[in-house]
Structure 1
Amino acid sequence: MPTHSAPARRCADGGSVMTTRQGRPVVLLRPVPGTSPIHELWAGTKIIAVLSFSALMAFYPDWVPLALVMILIGIAIRMARIPRGVLPSVPTWLWLLLLLGCVTAAIGGGEPFVHLGSYEIALGGLLKFVRITVVAIVLLSLGMLVSWTTNIADIAPAVARLGRPFKFFRIPVDDWAVALALSLRAFPMLLDEFRLLYAARRLRPRPVLTSRRARRRRWVIEMVDLLAAGITVALRRADEMGDAITARGGTGLISAAPSGPRRADWVVLTICGLVCVVSVVLQVTVLAGTGI
């Protein structure tokens, strides 16, 4: 997806045209158009896979489990035919923050050591920072992959099906599933509304303020107005969504849709389980003494 450029602004003398580039926004909770084997998987299968890999990264955030999970994610992205255009642009301040983290982590030192002539460089802190960053990227990739290949309407029935054993303990699983589904459905709408409000605010003529105190006061007033408008929009959207749900039979139908795994889901769950088991076995038995 190409980046969109802002409207051109011509100089007063009619000379050159200056344009500003805008980064690609984050597109989440909206499935990528089309179909693929990953799109057709049961939503519960994807939830189980994400929870399994998240637990694996929490207990064994090492290079071997990371490599296996990254290979599996790459294969899934390839099978899902995710276009590059859905990837958000990385802002400059984030690159600077990562660079600052690398520098400060490298100062911490630690094994392994690299000898360059008479100098000895400790790479332990830098490698730990890189590993933590890779873990964060892997977890974000898992969440984005599920978001780009799963319909929001399929999440509530899957959560209700997975949480069925907890009903024995009188836990309101269906209500939680409905609340989760409504939250996921409302998030993209509210995000678009806030973007629209922010764009409308930028189109308003800005008064000329000479003192710093007046500028701070104006900024506070604009933030209060923006928050009030956002709350009003959220309440209006909630009222419209409530009317739509009531007209379709109530919230009970959201989590009561038929949902369950199929043969392809069992294959995927088996592969995910094997990846987790192989990662743990390699890390505990083979690679425990090597420090990898």
Structure 2
Amino acid sequence: MSTTPIFRGNRIACREFLRRSSGHYVYVLLRPDGTPFYVGKGTGERVFWHENESRHPDDWCSNRHKLATIRALLREGEAVAYEIDCITDDEETAYVREAELIALHKRLHESGPLTNLADGDGGSAGPSPLSKERHATTLSGFPSDNPDRALLNDFILGIAPMGSVVLKPLSQFTPRPTAPYPSKTMRPSLRQAVALVASAAANGISMERQCVIPRRVSIRGVEGCIENGVASDIVTSGMATLRSAPAPRDECFAMSSSQVRVVVGIVGLRKCFELGVVKDDPLAQAPRRIG
């Protein structure tokens, strides 16, 4: 699991960073030495509420361990450090990432440093099995109450298993301009490669040489678009070069022959052949010579 944040700094810098962003974000509160002590999910100014709450003498006590940690830092003249792990338009994705980070760092009773009472999902005692199932279905399954999302998920899962969505219906989210994450490095991943191959297949684009892959797709009548976070991952990892457009949905990803080979290698030549983005069947036997 990648834990490289897209932001880490003090309260002032964090507020400025969030003013330039929108959507749901997952954050981590840190001690001055970088040790995490709380993971949360929010929008707007949510990340700062904990420190504000700790300053109230009436002790709201939403979480005694968390407030005691913040108050101890303030008494010692120290400051809380802030980390933004990710930003997404999809609230379900943020909940899942919050739970992942809590499981990674672990809570106090699990011999970890976190003061979280719940294990994620926005609950006070951890997500119920039904809630977990709902999240998983929305992110990478076939939600019965969202046929457009189910159709796009079905197309993606036919390429490779995914823990979270890479294509979203255009009617259900607002594409943001794609930009690489500042001060963050990452490697090409299966999730990024699947997004590019899916768009190439949907748009009838060959991936046997350099090509340009649209961010926008149309699959069985459903208009979709590569999700904001995946798009940023693609340019951050160097898997493709962004071609910007006035409307983010009309952006494209330019790929050199070497970048194409990386993507096809990650997804698999056979799968790319089945999707029609490469011509030669890797399982076909070469014809024998006669004479």
Indicate the structure whose relative CO is greater, using CA pairs within 8 Å and at least 6 residues apart: 1
TM-score (norm: length of structure 1)? 0.22
- Which of the two has greater helix per residue? 1
- Which of the two has greater strand per residue? 2
Computing the radius of gyration from Cα coordinates, the structure with the larger value is: 1
